[in-house]
Structure formats: C-alpha cells, structure tokens
C-alpha cells in the first residue's frame, strides 16, 4: 500500500505535486511530513485516521520540505521558527485551498498540509445526509427572517460544511449577507466576508459592531467563543437579522446551557434562538463490501426502545479494494431542534435541566438525538452500530429512556417505510468511489492482496471475525447501557460467545473509556 518515488528519475517538483494530487484524490484531509532521524515519513489522514503513505530517504528530506515551503509562500531560509502558509489551486477539478504549517522539531521541520475541500458545501444541503424530516425542519428554519440558528459539534464534525451549505441556500440577489470568520474558510460569490485579525484589535465583537451598520439581512459569525460575541449575536438577531453561527457543544441541551453560561439573558435567548443543529461524523460503510446480517435480540430491543420500530437486519463492515477496513468517507449523524413555544417558555422560565430535556427529546417527537439518528443510519447500512456507539454520549441513552417504554411501544411504521425506500448510498457517491480511489499497483499485479480479498476463504474468515466482534465487543456494552438506562426488561448477554474474548474486549473498552 505504501507509495514509492524514484528521486533519481523524477524531479522533486513533480514528486511534491504527485503527493498532493494523490492525497486529494484519496479524499485525505491532511498530509503530514514527519521527520525522523534517518528518514522522512509521509502520512495522510483519511476519514479521520492517519495512514502511512511513503518513506523518503534523508538525502531528499531537505529538498522536499523546501519545495513545499516554497509552494506555500514561506521563507525557505528560515527553518528554526514555526511558519504558516497557503497553497491555492485547482486539482482534479476541485477548488482547493491548502493551509500549510511548518514546525521545527529535533529531526527537522515537520510540515502539515491541511486540505480544505469545500466541494461538499457546494453540493447543497440535501447531500449532507439529513433525514427527510430533519431536512424539512432546516428548510423551515431558513425561512425565518430573524433569529439565531446554531450549528454545533466538536472540531472536525463538519460544522463548516453545514453552515456554508445553508448560506449557499440563502445567498440571493435580494439579501445582504455579511460574514465574520477566523479564518475565512471558503470564498462564496455574493457574500461580504470579513477576516478577523486580533493582532490589530479586529476581533469578532469589533467586526460585528461595524457589520450592524452595514444594513445586513443575514450574518454569519464563524464561531461564538465568548460572552461578548454571544451577546452581540443575540442582539443582532432580535433587531431583525438572521444570524448563523457555530458553537463547540454536542447537542441541543448543552448548547442552551452554554449560551446561558455565557451570560446571555434568558429572555433574550428564548426570543432569539430559532434552531439548533448538532452533528458528528461517522465512518461510512463501504457499499461494495458491507455485510447484511440479522439483528440480534439485544439490538432489536434497543431499536424498539429508541425508535419504536422492529429492526430485522443490520450491517457490518466487510473488506474490499474500494475501501479501508470496510469504510469509505464519512456521514454526519445529526440532531435537529426547532425551538417551539413550549421550549421557548421553558428557557425563559429557567426550568430544571431534566424537565427541559423531557421537553426537547421525550415530548417533542420531531427531535431525534444523535443515537436515534445513528440507529436509523445503521439500519440503512450507511454506517454500522460500532460507529454509532463510538460517537454518542451516555446522555443520549438517558434521553430516549422514556420515549418508548413497555406501555407505549408502538411501531412507527412511517420510519420503517422511509427506510425501505431509501437508497442507502447515493449513486454519485458510488461513482466517486469508482473514479477516485485509484490503486496504481492493483491493475498490474494479479497476486495483489486486494484481489485475494474476494477469495471465499478470506471472506468467510472475515465474516466469522465480524460475528465475534459483533457479539463480544459492542453488544456487551449495549446490554449494560440498556440495563442501566432503560427501565423494564433486563437483557442477558448471549452466552455462546467465547468468554475469553469477551473479557478481553470489555477490558479494552474500559481502558478506552
């Protein structure tokens, strides 16, 4: 899988270009040039994980880093101080923006190239993986002329893509859109984008004060980081502007709490806040090799409790030449909350956290938390349960605990119906995989391992592996979660699995937590 370059026949300029193009083609988000004592290792980050890409001999280390620094407009005579640079270019038809950073380490400069690829944001909100219901809610939010809509999530959760997609939708001749960002991540025609520069005192708050005198209709605040920005955002939204912004929180309830912590007054917050979209990114199952299997009893109970539906089949990761360990690309899990009158009043009145949670998640059947959204996407084969459990908070299990208890389990046929009609992976995604994942060696070499992946024996052993992982790894965890958090029936672990493996994986899990 490691790439090799011939430095005696290929000019360094071409090698650097090839590294960048190849990384873009493989949908990498970052390229790392890691200097070691005797070599330079290049790694690329795909779907959130770093993978070894190539090893460069020490002889060429300096030339290679110098070439990257030159491209990024850095000072090539300075290697003792950290530097930042950028490369703008169109590669493979994609408008690319590369942010380059150099850091002096004991074995030379470490360079990281961050590939900012906004082609996703340009494809529209409908391609971001929202369920039909959530998509409809977001359209309703965007039709509101004033108020605040927040997109929340951790760093790297795809917030920017969602916010930019929403701005694209709002970007029309008759409105004045002004953004204040740090940094301006993507230039969009028709927008007035302002870059924060705190060195000269141009911070979010300062820009926002000026923006309000520029007759805006819609304002994007890159991120609400402090109390002053939060307060100006709220003030702007109650004086007739639509404000979009992002916040570093995980779900609706923590977002409301964070804003209150930032000293935003409750009566202002309750009247300005219109919607909260929370998200996280899950690895997407490879559509070529995912393995459909019957759901086990524990999983059936979870689906019944969480969504009120009978799940029959689920999917596990397979392995093939189109993917990395069964996954390719990522998909967002989302929670979309439109603030209704009841929630508005509750925010205003400062009701108890548990009561507010009930209002948001239990009484309000339109809201599905990240766990529920993940379960739906796992059922569709877009991701798997392992990914969902890796990403959701314990809180999410609490929130669903009273939704469908023994007394009121009723199968929500509409969800089931929707799921059956969903094409699990959009066609253009499949095409993207076909066109872009190029393995230069697999075409020429018949003994290549990626071909052997289709051997029945390998396939069967993978299947067995998957079942072991399936029953031992997450199911035990799941049983505990259900027993702890969901009242009613106690669930037993399937005793057929090997106890040793169980214990070991449970230990691993405990360590991971």
To Zn ion, the closest distance from the beta carbon of 42 in angstroms equals 24
Taking the complex as a whole, the smallest distance from the CB of residue 464 to Zn ion amounts, in Å, to 18
Instruction: Report, in Å, the least distance between residue 85 CB and Zn ion.
Output: 36
Residues within window 460-489 making contact with Zn ion, judged by CB under 5 A: none
Q: Is there binding between residue 31 and Zn ion (CB under 5 A)?
A: no
DSSP 72: T
Residue 286 CB, nearest distance to Zn ion (Å)?
3
CB 100 within 8 A of CB 68: yes
| Residue 107 or 288 with smaller CB distance to Zn ion | 288
Evaluate whether 130 touches 279 at the Cβ level (below 8 Å).
no
Residue nearest to Zn ion (CB): 286
Choice between 259 and 289, CB closer to Zn ion: 289
Strands of 38-189, DSSP E:
39-46, 49-57, 83-91, 94-105, 108-117, 147-152, 177-181
Task: Decide whether 39 or 288 has the Cβ nearer to Zn ion.
Answer: 288
Instruction: Give the contacts of 303 (CB within 8 A, at least 6 positions apart).
Output: 295, 309, 310, 311, 375, 379
If one asks whether residue 184 binds Zn ion (CB under 5 A), the answer comes out as no
Applying CB under 5 A, what is the total number of residues that bind Zn ion? Answer: 6
- Could you give the C-alpha distances from 274 to 47, 208, 391, 401, in angstroms and in order? 32, 20, 26, 26
Tell me if 425 contacts Zn ion by CB under 5 A: no
- For helices 58-71 and 12-25, what crossing angle results, to 10°? 70
Least distance CB 459 / Zn ion (angstroms): 12
286 in contact with Zn ion (CB under 5 A): yes
* Candidates 10-18, 208-216, 278-286, 474-482; binding stretch for Zn ion (CB under 5 A): 278-286
Closest approach of Cβ 375 to Zn ion, in Å? 22
Q: Which of 177, 220, 323, 419 binds Zn ion (CB under 5 A)?
A: 323
Q: Is 322 in the site for Zn ion (CB under 5 A)?
A: yes
| Nearest CB to Zn ion, comparing residues 310 and 439 | 439
Q: Of the two residues 69 and 330, which places its CB atom closer to Zn ion in the complex? A: 330
> Judged by CB under 5 A, which of 289, 331, 346, 491 binds Zn ion?
289
Query: x/- site string to Zn ion, residues 7 to 26, per CB under 5 A?
Result: --------------------
Among positive and negative, which fits the CA dihedral 297, 301, 302, 304?
A: positive
Q: Is 141 in the site for Zn ion (CB under 5 A)?
A: no
> Nearest Cα to 68, choosing from 6, 20, 140?
20
Q: Does 288 bind Zn ion (CB under 5 A)?
A: yes
Nearest to 374 by CA among 362, 361, 383, 364: 383
Measured from the CB atom, the residue of 183 and 329 that comes closer to Zn ion is 329
Asked whether 366 and 133 are in contact (CB, 8 A), the reply is: yes
Q: What is the DSSP secondary structure assignment for residue 224, as one 8-state letter?
A: -
320 binds Zn ion (CB under 5 A): yes
106 with 96: CB under 8 angstroms?
no
Q: At what angle do helices 370-379 and 297-307 cross, to 10 degrees?
A: 130
**Residue 445 Cβ vs Zn ion, minimum distance, rounded to whole Å:** 19
List residues binding Zn ion (CB under 5 A).
286, 288-289, 320, 322-323
């Amino acid at each position: 899988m490691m790439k090799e370059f011939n430095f005696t026949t290929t000019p360094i300029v071409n090698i650097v270009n090839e590294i960048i193009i190849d990384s873009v083609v493989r949908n990498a988000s970052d390229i790392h040039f890691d200097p070691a004592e005797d070599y330079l290792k290049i790694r690329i980050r795909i779907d959130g994980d770093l993978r070894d890409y190539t090893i460069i001999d020490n002889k060429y280390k300096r030339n290679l880093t110098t070439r990257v620094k030159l491209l990024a407009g850095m000072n090539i005579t300075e290697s003792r101080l950290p530097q930042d640079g950028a490369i703008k270019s169109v590669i493979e038809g994609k408008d690319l923006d590369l942010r380059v950073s150099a850091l002096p380490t004991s074995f030379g400069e470490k360079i990281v190239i961050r590939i900012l690829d906004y082609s996703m944001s340009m494809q529209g909100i409908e391609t971001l993986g929202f369920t039909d219901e959530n998509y409809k809610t977001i359209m309703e939010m965007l039709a509101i002329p004033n108020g605040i809509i927040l997109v929340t999530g951790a760093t790297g959760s795809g917030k920017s893509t969602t916010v930019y997609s929403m701005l694209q939708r709002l970007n029309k001749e008759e409105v004045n859109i002004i953004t204040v960002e740090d940094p301006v991540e993507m230039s969009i025609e028709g927008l007035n984008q302002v870059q924060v520069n705190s060195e000269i005192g141009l911070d979010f708050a300062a820009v926002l004060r000026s923006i309000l005198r520029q007759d805006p209709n819609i304002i994007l605040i890159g991120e609400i980081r402090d109390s002053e920005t939060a307060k100006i955002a709220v003030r702007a939204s109650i004086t007739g502007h639509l404000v979009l912004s992002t916040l570093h929180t995980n779900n609706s309830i923590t977002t409301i709490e964070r804003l209150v912590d930032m000293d935003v007054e409750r009566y202002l917050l309750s009247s300005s806040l219109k919607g909260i979209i929370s998200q996280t990114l899950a690895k997407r199952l490879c559509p070529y090799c995912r393995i459909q299997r019957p759901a086990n009893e524990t999983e059936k109970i979870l689906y019944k409790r969480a969504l009120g539906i009978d799940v029959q089949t689920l999917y596990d990761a397979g392995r093939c030449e189109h993917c990395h360990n069964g996954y390719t690309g990522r998909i967002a899990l989302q929670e979309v909350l439109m603030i209704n009158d009841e929630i508005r009043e509750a925010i205003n009145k400062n009701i108890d956290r548990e009561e507010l949670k009930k209002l948001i998640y239990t009484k309000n059947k339109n809201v599905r938390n990240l766990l529920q959204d993940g379960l739906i996407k796992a059922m569709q084969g877009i991701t798997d349960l392992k990914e969902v459990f890796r990403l959701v908070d314990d809180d999410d299990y609490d929130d669903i605990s009273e939704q469908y208890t023994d007394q009121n389990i009723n199968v929500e046929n509409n969800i089931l119906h929707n799921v059956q009609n969903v094409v699990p992976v959009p066609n253009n995604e499949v095409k993207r995989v076909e066109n872009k994942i190029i393995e230069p060696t697999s075409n020429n070499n018949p003994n290549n391992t990626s071909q052997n992946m289709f051997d029945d024996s390998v396939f069967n052993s993978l299947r067995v592996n998957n079942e072991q992982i399936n029953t031992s790894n997450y199911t035990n965890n799941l049983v505990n979660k259900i027993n702890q958090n969901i009242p009613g029936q106690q669930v037993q672990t399937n005793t057929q699995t090997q106890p040793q493996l169980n214990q070991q994986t449970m230990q691993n899990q405990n360590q991971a937590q």
